[in-house]
């Protein structure tokens, strides 16, 4: 354990305590050395660090291994191509660190790279390095992924959005190395809500960086982010159906209702009104995404839904979706749904003998491939994430948020950069220690952020 970073959770509820302890134990199975660089691999049979999972996973794991957390982000920045493209994955092959540019493989990166800035001491040198990385990647996206010039960025292959075996991609190639799209395919280039959201996330983060660096570009990046959001709404959002739908070549609109709308909420490319509409009409619909175990990859009543146990993003509930939805709902003030999702996820893990697998059946919650995938990283980190975001302390865009769920008595302690932060809860009231200062008791059932003087800046309710 790093001497300046430590996190502890002690709960009177033995079930929650066991969940925490077993998830932490399983997570250690995914620590590796890429030469002399410690990393947290995806796990469950995936031995690489992937752009769609491991910057997010590493930063969430920061209190338990800050070295791995930093490398999970820095290695992608260090292996960015001169033209701006980031590797979709990084592998250790024959003792060599090998960046792989044959897919984009999602982009859960900017938020967590920014959180790393705050967690590691607010280095302006690191911030300028991140700024350069995001500018170059965003430029590459717009130079190569808008082949018809309509302002909507495109996916060229299945692995660009990490939707392995998804039926909506038809016979599109799984991976693609070229900057020009495949020719003669009726499924790609696909105008994509995901790829558009990559750019939005880059640009909104660059606006935050500009504010911190005082370089005069904050408004410019805000306007550029709004331009991407406007194109997303104009081309892909269906107001009547309250969802985004990607477009096939020639502008043919897809009809499959996908969880990717929740990904957009993770990247914050939806407006508040769009997010509210999608959640109310689709996420909470038991025929679509609020199945007995919620969050299938495709709406359960969609013709392209398939409930198959192998790695397939056409149906079963993914641990990675639970991980991303944690941030997606918080982004829009929808914390009240987190306890419900946490309970469903915890029950699935517990009822499968603590098998942290990639997929679970949305109707029975049976774990898929639990003999070979018992330590799949995103599911492990989703469990730790829900516990931390409901009962603990976590970074949130430059501030620490303190979450005090009502219910069991517990203590959560976070030692960070020489300061102690703590929640001591009896289940009804919580005494919070912020930066070593013990504050007056506050009611449970809320998440709090504080001003520097210790007064409450904002609250978010779990009910």
Domain ranges in the chain are 123-255
Look at residue 74 in the predicted model and tell me its pLDDT: 98
> pLDDT digit of tens for each residue in the chain (463 aa)?
454 788 999 999 999 999 999 999 999 999 999 999 999 999 999 999 999 999 999 999 999 999 999 999 999 999 999 999 999 999 999 999 999 999 999 999 999 999 999 999 999 999 999 999 999 999 999 999 999 999 999 999 999 999 999 999 999 999 999 999 999 999 999 999 999 999 999 999 999 999 999 999 999 999 999 999 999 999 999 999 999 999 999 999 999 999 999 999 999 999 999 999 999 999 999 999 999 999 999 999 999 999 999 999 999 999 999 999 999 999 999 999 999 999 999 999 999 999 999 999 999 999 998 888 889 999 999 999 999 999 999 998 889 999 999 999 999 999 998 899 999 999 999 999 998 899 999 999 999 999 888 889 999 999 9
Closest CA to 170 of 182, 152, 153: 182
3-state helix, strand, coil in the chain (%, to 5): 40, 20, 40
Separation of first and last alpha carbons in the chain: 35
Distance in angstroms (rounded) separating the CA atoms of residues 208 and 134 = 12
Distance in angstroms (rounded) separating the CA atoms of residues 161 and 318 = 14
Distance in angstroms (rounded) separating the CA atoms of residues 412 and 396 = 17
Distance in angstroms (rounded) separating the CA atoms of residues 15 and 346 = 9
Distance in angstroms (rounded) separating the CA atoms of residues 76 and 377 = 18
Residue 270 — φ and ψ, nearest 5°? -85, 150
Q: Give the full edge-to-edge strand order of the sheet including 96-100.
A: 49-50, 89-93, 96-100
Closest CA to 161 of 184, 131, 187: 187
Cβ atoms 137, 84 nearer than 8 A: yes
Q: Give residues with Cβ within 8 angstroms of 191, minimum separation 6.
A: 150, 152, 153, 154, 235, 236, 246, 247, 251
Look at residue 447 in the predicted model and tell me its pLDDT: 97
Residue 393 — φ and ψ, nearest 5°? -130, 130
Cβ atoms 357, 367 nearer than 8 A: yes
Cβ atoms 108, 42 nearer than 8 A: no
Distance in angstroms (rounded) separating the CA atoms of residues 184 and 250 = 12
Residue 93 — φ and ψ, nearest 5°? -125, 120
Distance in angstroms (rounded) separating the CA atoms of residues 159 and 43 = 18
User: Model-level pTM?
Assistant: 0.97
Look at residue 3 in the predicted model and tell me its pLDDT: 47
Distance in angstroms (rounded) separating the CA atoms of residues 66 and 53 = 17
Burial 190-215 (b: 16+ CB within 10 A, else e): bbbbbbbbbbbbbbbbbbbbbebeee
Distance in angstroms (rounded) separating the CA atoms of residues 299 and 185 = 26
Look at residue 424 in the predicted model and tell me its pLDDT: 98
Q: What angle do CA 21, 162, 132 make, to 5 degrees?
A: 90
Evaluate the omega torsion of the peptide bond into residue 444 and state whether it is cis, within 30 degrees of 0: no
Cβ atoms 160, 104 nearer than 8 A: yes
Q: Sign of the CA dihedral 116, 121, 124, 125? A: negative
Q: Which long-range contacts (CB under 8 A, 24 or more apart) does 251-258 make?
A: 251/191, 254/168, 256/167, 256/168, 256/298, 256/299, 256/302, 256/303, 256/304, 257/282, 257/288, 257/298, 257/299, 257/302, 258/168, 258/297, 258/298, 258/299
Q: What is the CA radius of gyration of the chain?
A: 21
């Amino acid at each position: 354990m790093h001497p300046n970073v430590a996190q502890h959770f002690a709960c009177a509820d033995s079930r929650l305590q066991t969940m925490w302890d077993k998830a932490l134990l399983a997570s250690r199975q995914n620590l590796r050395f890429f030469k002399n660089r410690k990393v947290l691999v995806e796990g469950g049979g995936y031995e690489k660090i992937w752009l769609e999972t491991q910057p997010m996973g590493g930063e969430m794991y920061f209190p338990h291994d800050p070295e791995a957390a930093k490398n999970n982000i820095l290695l992608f920045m260090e292996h960015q191509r001169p033209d701006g493209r980031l590797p979709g994955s990084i592998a250790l092959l024959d003792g060599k660190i090998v960046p792989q540019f044959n897919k984009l493989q999602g982009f859960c990166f900017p938020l967590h790279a920014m959180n790393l800035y705050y967690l590691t001491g607010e280095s302006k040198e690191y911030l300028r390095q991140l700024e350069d990385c995001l500018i170059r990647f965003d430029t590459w996206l717009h130079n190569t992924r808008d082949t018809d010039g309509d302002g909507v960025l495109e996916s060229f292959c299945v692995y660009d959005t990490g939707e392995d075996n998804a039926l909506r991609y038809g016979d599109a190639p799984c991976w693609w190395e070229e900057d020009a799209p495949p020719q003669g395919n009726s499924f790609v280039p696909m105008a994509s809500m995901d790829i558009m959201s990559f750019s939005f996330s880059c640009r909104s983060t660059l606006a935050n960086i500009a504010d911190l660096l005082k370089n005069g570009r904050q408004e410019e990046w805000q306007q550029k982010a709004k331009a991407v959001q406007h194109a997303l709404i104009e081309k892909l959002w269906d107001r009547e159906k309250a969802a985004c739908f990607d477009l096939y070549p020639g502008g043919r609109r897809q009809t499959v209702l996908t969880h990717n709308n929740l990904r957009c909420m993770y990247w914050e490319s939806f407006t508040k009104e769009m997010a509210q509409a999608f959640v109310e009409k689709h996420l909470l619909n038991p025929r679509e995404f609020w199945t007995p175990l919620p969050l299938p990859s495709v709406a359960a009543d969609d013709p392209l839904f398939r409930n198959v146990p192998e790695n397939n993003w056409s149906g079963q509930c993914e641990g990675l979706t639970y991980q991303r939805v944690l941030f997606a709902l918080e982004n829009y003030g929808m914390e009240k749904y987190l306890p419900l999702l946490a309970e469903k996820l915890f029950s699935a893990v517990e009822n499968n003998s603590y098998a942290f697998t990639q997929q679970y059946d949305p109707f029975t919650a049976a774990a898929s491939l639990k003999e070979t995938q018992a330590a799949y990283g995103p599911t492990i980190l989703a469990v730790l994430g829900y516990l931390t975001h409901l009962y603990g302390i976590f970074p949130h865009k430059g501030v620490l948020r303190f979450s005090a769920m009502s219910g069991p008595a517990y203590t959560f302690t976070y030692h960070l950069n020489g300061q102690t932060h703590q929640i001591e809860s009896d289940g009804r009231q919580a005494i919070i220690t912020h930066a070593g200062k013990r504050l007056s008791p506050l009611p449970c059932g809320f998440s709090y952020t504080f001003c520097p003087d210790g007064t409450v800046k904002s609250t978010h309710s779990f009910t």
